[in-house]
Amino acid sequence: MTNQETPVENAPELIVEERGRVLVLTMNRPEAKNAMSMAMAHQIADALDLLDSRDDLSVGVITGAGGTFCAGMDLKGFARGERPVVEGKGFAGLVKQPPRKPLIAAVEGYALAGGFEIVLSSDLIVASSAAKFGLPEVKRGLTAAAGGLLRLQHRIPYHLAMELVLTGAMWPATEAAEARLVNRLTEPGRALEEALVLADEVAANAPLALAASKQVLVQSVDWSLPEKFDRQEEFVNPIRESADAKEGAAAFVEKRTPQWTGH
């Protein structure tokens, strides 16, 4: 979290770019270490709605400008009574209801408090070896209520999660990679570049199958064993009947690259 803020006049708080089938979201408040504002939260929610609604987009990447991912909630805004929360979607327009499609976090510098919770809401994580994660809320009389307390213990060993939460200590990305929280570790300054490589690998696959696979992985955690196979059918059965499934089979037989439509 940060209380430093010197707004840049006319600068968009979120930069949204399309790169083929990949939608890139860049949090753009570098003067405030990309601290989450109410405006940015709503812009992120809108961008992720766009990702989910477009058949020609398969994967999202979220990153931060200026060498920092996100230092958490804007404390100046919080002091004014503002909370960067979008109804139904939570902090940053994301943590309570992540997108249906895969989301990759590309992390440089600090991902602290709500910034780390954005990372934990993502499906894949690419981080610079110089990046640092942390949930320092207890140092500010707060709790990591934007998903940190709910997700961290399921991503890393329980006692490590408890230590990070109770001490509020910063955690180097190199150690996070050893704990398998980070998918790919890069040299400083290359996290977005490597995240885009990973995004292209993912986006080369069938978009409907990607979204359905993510949903089963995420939601089946709470399903009892007897119902797992039955409940996954609502997600996977439409995929079997899709035009993309037919295209995938035809492309294999014809030894060509499939042309996905998202239908």
Beta bridge partners of 104: 61, 124
Q: Which of 9, 31, 108, 117 is catalytic?
A: 117
Respond yes or no: is residue 254 known to be catalytic.
Answer: no
Q: Which of 137, 163, 193, 201 is catalytic?
A: 137
Respond yes or no: is residue 117 known to be catalytic.
Answer: yes
Distances (CA, A) of 226 to 34, 98, 219, 221, 229: 45, 27, 15, 13, 7
Return all residues near 206 (Cβ < 8 A) that are at least 6 apart.
239, 242, 244, 245, 247, 248, 258, 260
Catalytic residue set:
117, 137
